[in-house]
Structures are given as structure tokens and as C-alpha cells.
Structure 1
Amino acid sequence: MATQAVSAQDFEETINKNKLVFVDFWATWCGPCKAFGPVYEKASEENPDIVFAKVDIDQNQELATAAEIQAVPTLMIAKEGQIIFKQAGALRASDLDDLIKQAKNIDLSQEPETADSKA
């Protein structure tokens, strides 16, 4: 599946109705965004089970502010409606692939272990 443009109107629905969503916050004037774009697009084609969304921060300033985007590109990952990752900076293809594997393997149904639960 190719990447899809997401706006403030459909952002929440996209996050909540899909199991795993990667969101690329980007801008047309951003050099690193232009470099990351093809890497992100290729990953979207190789992982049709994941929604790869793109948010143009200039066209969606309120959404970028609500998501606390400080720099572009910023990659956000939501799994089962929960934000599990957010990081600014372009990624290499190998780093994005590793992140995809990690995100797929996270099990949100398990309680995180605490020091108390081991006793």
C-alpha cells in the first residue's frame, strides 16, 4: 500500500481504526524530509499490513501543534490507537525496517512488568 495524505479531519480516525499506523510529519521546504520521502514510500510498499500516513505540517498546522511536532521530519507510530513512538529526524532504510519490526512485535495487551510484580 502506498502512503496516504492525512489531515486534521481524518487523523484521529486513521489512528484509531487501524492496528498499526506510521505517520510522517513533513514539509515541502524540508531537505531531510525530501531525502526520507522515498525511504518511507518504499517501506509502505513492502509492508501492506501497515498504514503509512503523511501529514504536511504547513497544510495542517493545528494538527502539528496538537501532536507537539517541533522539527521535521518527525515519525510517529500508533498501535491500536496508542502512540508508541515519536522521534524527529530522517531515518535510514535499515533503521526504519528495524523500527517496523519492533513496532509489529510490541504486545500492548500485556501489562508492563514492575519491580513489585516480580515478588
Structure 2
Amino acid sequence: MSMMPVNSDNFDKEVLGDDSFKMMFVGAEWCGHCKVMRPGVMEFSAENPEIKLCYADADEAADLVSSFGITSIPTTLVFKDKKEVLRKVGALSKQDLGEIVKTYL
């Protein structure tokens, strides 16, 4: 599974469209920490296809990123029951993502 690209046009449908658990990553191609984090996220995605992972490019979805008050990337947001339940700033490992799932799923 790959990450679903999100922006202000499809955020409500893709992220808030139902009550299920979702993770949204905010990053950019030029961000070194985002590049470091990406392989672990992709491995996590492949091992957990039941979890919807979304990605907002900070440059391409600047209005969405701004609406969340995100000023540093990478930022990981976790949504459950159509609400943000967790926000982590900085690169996370695959193990970190697994711990988040254990806590919130």
C-alpha cells in the first residue's frame, strides 16, 4: 500500500470521511528528516495494509498545512473518530509508528 496524497480538496473525504484510525504525514521532498523517515513509513505501510496512511506535501498543500498550524516537518498526525488525537513533530521510526497504533487503534 502507498500513502494517499491529501490536500485541502480531498482532506475531508480521505481523512475525516469516516471514524476509522488514520495517520497523516506532512513533509516535503527537500526535507532531509522526511527522507530519512520515508523508508520506515513505507515498510510500516506494507506490513499494515489495513491502516490508512495519508501524505500532505508541505509545499503543494500549504493551505492545509497552515490550517493545522504546522510549522515544522516532518509532522505526523493521528486521527480517530474524525478528530486529531495525536501530533508528533520530527522523524519517527517504524517502531514508533507501531507504538502509536498500539496506543490508539
TM-score range, shorter chain: over 0.9
Q: Verify the 8 A CA contact 2:22 2:51 in the aligned structure 1.
A: yes
Checking the alignment, whether the CA contact within 8 Å between 1:15 and 1:80 is kept in structure 2 is: no
5+ residue gaps, structure 1, are 105-119
Distance 1:13 1:80 in 2: 13
Separation in 2 of the partners of 1:6 and 1:41?
Answer: 17
Local SS of the residue matching 2:55: strand
Q: Secondary structure at the match of 1:8?
A: coil
Structure 1 stretches of 4+ with a deviation exceeding 6 A read none
Structure with the greater alpha carbon radius of gyration: 1
TM-score normalised by structure 2 residue count? 0.92
Corresponding residue of 2:45: 44
Identity of aligned residues (%): 27
- Using the TM superposition, give the Cα deviation of residue 36 of structure 1 relative to its aligned residue in structure 2, in angstroms: 0.5
Distance in 1 (CA, whole Å) between partners of 2:17 and 2:48 is 17
Instruction: Compute the TM-score of the two structures, normalised by the length of structure 1.
Output: 0.82
Aligned partners of 1:15, 1:6: CA distance in 2, in Å? 8
Q: Equivalent residue for 2:36? A: 35
Normalized per residue, which structure has more helix? Answer: 1
Which sections of structure 2, spanning at least 5 residues, go unmatched?
Answer: none
Structure 2 match to 1:4: 4
Q: Deviations over 1:62-100 (max 9, x none)?
A: 100001111000000001201100111001221111111
Higher relative contact order (CA 8 A, sep 6+): 2
Alignment partner of 1:77 is 2:78: yes
